[in-house]
Amino acid sequence: MSKENVVLRVKRQDGPQSPARWEEFSVPRHAGANVLSVLMQVRENPVTASGQKTTPPAWDAACLEEVCGSCSMLVNGRARQACTALIETYSPNGEPITLEPFSKFPLVRDLVVDRSRMFESLKKVRAWIPIDGTYDLGPGPRMSQKTAEERYVMSTCMTCGCCLEVCPQVNTHSPFIGAAAISQARLFNAHPTGQLNESERLHALMEPGGVADCGKAGNCVQACPKEIPLTTSIAEMNREVTWKAVKDFFVRDSDDHEKKDAS
Amino acid sequence: MGVQQNQTQFLLRRLQSLTGIFPVGGYLCFHLFENLAALSGPERFNEIVHDIEKLAPLPYFYIIEWSLILIPLLIHSLLGMMIWFSGQPNPLAYPYRRNWLYTLQRWTGGIGFLFILSHFLQWRWAVLMRGTPITYADITRDLAGVPMLTWYLVGVLSLCFHFGNGLYGFCYSWGITVGKKSQRMMEYVGWGAFVATSIVAVNILVSLHLAGVAHG
């Protein structure tokens, strides 16, 4: 191990069906470097540590400041954003750093995965507020400062997928939508106008793969780079769907308006 | 939206969670409580076993046994196994406390199920076939051997853990404990329940084992 260089061990895969292989890169170390800046150095001169020419590893990135959620990958086996993975933290004495793509999403190439299932989940729980009309609907109801503060942290979710990657209940033989979408359902139900569609969101969470599939492992809240209280969101949605089920059963036809909407 | 609702899985998961506390968890506590009689010696133990068998006249005894104990237990276990196999435990990659508890909850459930099955076949079923009630002497003789005592300790302590940790899980799954503070409190309550039931269980088992050894 030398402190002059940064050693990256990258899991490479040319395409979804191609075999996986490991490649090691060694590039000069700079102060303040992070995993993405080192990947950029590798891209400038894609030669492995043993001197073989190769293709530059592919990865996703956009904002470089942990707000876009696109540089999700496994750094030393743990799900996180690569942009904030500092070389100084991971390799204080020149230890090699391993990079792998997320394992719970379809692989595109190298470190790039397809996270569109998260977008599908957001559509399932209607993670938006329908305010568009054919005429001006006027200002919405006021929101208390307290609600705004509670909602703020949930609104920072960047759909990075860390909570799904670490979740034992999210895997190929389970339809669980994961913590992110559940927390977004809570975010939009907590909005005075979004609350008008509360019923649809709760019903979506009662479908197969909904909130009841949570296994209470709590990894999501540990892995979330935005420190969103995901286990609180899940427990709160658990409470809401419990009440919803009780109301649906005892108060007959409570959802006639939903049925009319759909027909 | 909302027209074709498939809530079967949601309801089954809630049923699995509910049966774990009522009646299965409740019965675990009752069973430990009644077996405390073992600490009072052979006469008192045989008396209590007899009294419980005569608690309700015959058809009712079976109806209560099946509807309040065996069927809920089967529902809880079979649905629990489906939940177990729908997951992909990863405590080595992410060794957080609650992630270990997630994995342990599944393994203790599995071990507990096998233990209950063997326990039921050994005593309840054998008694039904034989027609005479279990006596203190039967049980002490059985538990005198160290392998059998070990199996009982493993099985019963698994169930005590599963019960304690399950209390936390129940309150989370039904949305009773939503905030971090209440979730942490419930975890302490769960550990407390685990320790309390474990002390009782170990006390009973060791006393039966020692009595068995003494009688050779």
**Side-chain-side CA neighbours of residue B11 (13 Å):** 8
- 3-state SS, residue B82: helix
Average pLDDT, chain B: 94
Query: Which amino acid, residue B90?
Result: N
Residues of A in contact with B98 (CB under 8 A): 216-219
CB of B10 less than 8 A from some CB of A:
yes
How far A250 CA sits from the closest chain B CA (Å)?
Answer: 15
Rounded CA gap, A256 and A233, in Å?
28
Report the DSSP beta bridge partners of residue A21: A12
Q: Considering only the beta carbons, identify the residue of A171, A218, A238 that sits closest to B98.
A: A218
Quick one: pLDDT at residue A255? 54
Q: Which residues of chain B have pLDDT under 70?
A: 1-4
Which of B:169-188 have CB within 8 Å of A?
169, 172-180, 183
Query: What tokens does B112 get?
Result: 């507990």
Q: According to the CATH classification, is domain A5-113 in 3.40.50.720?
A: no
Could you report the per-residue pLDDT of A160-206, keeping only the tens digit for each? 999 999 999 999 999 999 999 999 999 999 999 999 999 999 999 99
CATH number corresponding to B9-214: 1.20.1300.10
Region(s) of chain A under CATH 3.10.20.30: 5-113
Interface test with A, best of B6, B9, B17 (most A CBs within 10 A): B9
**pLDDT at A263 exceeding the cut of 50:** no
Query: Which amino acid, residue B7?
Result: Q
CB of B164 less than 8 A from some CB of A:
no
Beta strand pairing call for A5-12 and A97-100: parallel
Helix (H) or strand (E) holding A146: helix A145-155
Could you report the per-residue pLDDT of A228-257, keeping only the tens digit for each? 999 999 999 999 999 999 999 898 665 555
CATH number corresponding to A116-262: 1.10.1060.10
Rounded CA gap, A232 and A86, in Å?
29
Q: Are B9 and A216 inside 8 Å of each other by CB?
A: no
Could you report the per-residue pLDDT of A33-92, keeping only the tens digit for each? 999 999 999 999 999 999 999 999 999 999 999 999 999 999 999 999 999 999 999 999
Q: Are B88 and A168 inside 8 Å of each other by CB?
A: yes
How far A132 CA sits from the closest chain B CA (Å)?
Answer: 19
Quick one: pLDDT at residue B215? 85
Residues of A in contact with B2 (CB under 8 A): 199-200, 203, 255, 258-259, 261-262
Could you report the per-residue pLDDT of A20-44, keeping only the tens digit for each? 999 999 999 999 999 999 999 999 9
Quick one: pLDDT at residue A258? 55
Rounded CA gap, B139 and B149, in Å?
11
Could you report the per-residue pLDDT of A98-125, keeping only the tens digit for each? 999 999 999 999 999 999 999 999 999 9
Complex ipTM, two decimals? 0.93
Quick one: pLDDT at residue A133? 76
